[in-house]
Amino acid sequence: MNGLSNILKPLSLLGAGFALGILAKTLYIGEDDAIIPSPRETHLPYLSPSEKAKLPYPPDALPGARDISSPYGSLRVYEWGPEHGRRVLMVHGISTPSIALAAIAHGLVRYGCRVLLFDLPGRGYSSTPSPTVHSQTSEFFIATILLVLASSSLSWTGPNSFSILGYSLGGGIAVNFASCFPSLISSVILLAPSGLIRPYHFGWQSKILYSSSLLPDWAVEQLVNWKLSNSSRPDRGQSGTAFEDELPLTEQCGDESACGPKFDIPMALEWQVQRHKGFVKSNISSLRHAPISGQHDQWTRMTNALSNRDTKGDQKTTTSHASRGATVLIMCGENDSVIIAKELETDSRKSLGGTENLLFVITPGAGHDFPITHSKEVVDAITKFWEH
């Protein structure tokens, strides 16, 4: 961010039109009871096949696409890979939809895995339930995952049914899910996960923007929209700007045969800002309510739950897919300015009870976007972790 001017400039615009702002707030309240549709319903019907193919996030971006109906609206899900392969549920971050994990997913499928990805509510091609009715809390995301699992024609339940992989916010969500349903989980893979971010990383601007009491929601939405719409290369370095830190600063893997098709992730973010009416609302709600920091107890609960399941007769490992060594793999970029590698390693080891259940890997020269820019290294680390 460029300091106070980033806040004052749009605020002055808002102040000049305060009467219109009151009207906007009224309209905002009137929308609270609705499911906000995704671009699948509001944008795609008006495009030709060639125009759809040119989108930064085309509707057929990944194999096995399906749209499921749910109490939260429509959810976009992708599932592909060998039906009897090791199963991996993948949860993306706060701003980038499923395509952020596309290269890793393709790599795992080549390894023999069955992968399941979905766009979080308010991202990509998933609808947005009103955040004032359904705050985007851990419980909200856990319920969403259960809906996604239930939509598969294959069984994703039972002892040690699948590994769960989460990136950034998805990592915090994965921890909370595993702590609630440990018997389903064979291993947990966390890529630059949220949950243990130290409070000093949140700047005053972010605290003002994302406080639920300092500014009305309509004003926060205007400010965030303005910020994202007026920055060709978003700023980095504060946890409150997690929208942008998932964007790759370097080229993605250039070998399509190894990584799958390439996507323009920054353009996909811009497309969501412009075309998904629930995108900014969802991100604000996640920054306010999702498992981003202060989750130490939840991490401890997860490792205790994963350990205790192996001592219960009805939950004992009965599948060759279960991990025999560490059950949690954490990866972090050496140069990540949001999830600081040394801090995360210290705090995660403390929360998870030492080293027995944890393998911690730092990706040299990488930032917060390493699952996109260093996808091959991530896949290699995951497969070695499973083979350990």
pLDDT band, very low/low/confident/very high, at 311 (cuts 50, 70, 90):
very low
Dig out the tokens for 292 from the structure: 């981003």
pLDDT at 221: 87
- Please write the tens of the pLDDT for every residue from 183-234: 999 999 999 999 999 988 887 777 777 776 677 888 888 888 887 776 544 4
Tell me the average pLDDT across 86-104.
97
pLDDT at 192: 98
pLDDT at 371: 96
pLDDT band, very low/low/confident/very high, at 150 (cuts 50, 70, 90):
very high
pLDDT band, very low/low/confident/very high, at 29 (cuts 50, 70, 90):
very low
Dig out the tokens for 223 from the structure: 């400010």
pLDDT at 231: 52
pLDDT at 362: 97
Computed on alpha carbons and rounded to an integer, the radius of gyration of the chain in Å comes to 20
**C-alpha angle 82-83-88 in degrees, rounded to nearest 5:** 80
Tell me the average pLDDT across 329-358.
93
Cβ(72)–Cβ(129) under 8 Å?
A: yes
pLDDT at 219: 85
d(CA 337, CA 107): 26
25: CB partners within 8 A, 6+ apart: 216, 217, 218
pLDDT band, very low/low/confident/very high, at 74 (cuts 50, 70, 90):
very high
Mind giving me the DSSP string for 145-202?
HHHHHHTSSS---STT-EEEEEETHHHHHHHHHHHH-GGGEEEEEEES-SS---GGGS
pLDDT-wise least confident of 19-23, 168-172, 327-331, 374-378? 19-23
pLDDT-wise least confident of 105-114, 170-179, 240-249, 326-335? 240-249
* Closest of 178, 138, 142 to residue 302, by C-alpha: 178
146: CB partners within 8 A, 6+ apart: none
pLDDT-wise least confident of 13-27, 119-133, 355-369? 13-27
* Closest of 137, 140, 130 to residue 32, by C-alpha: 130
Amino acid at 154: L
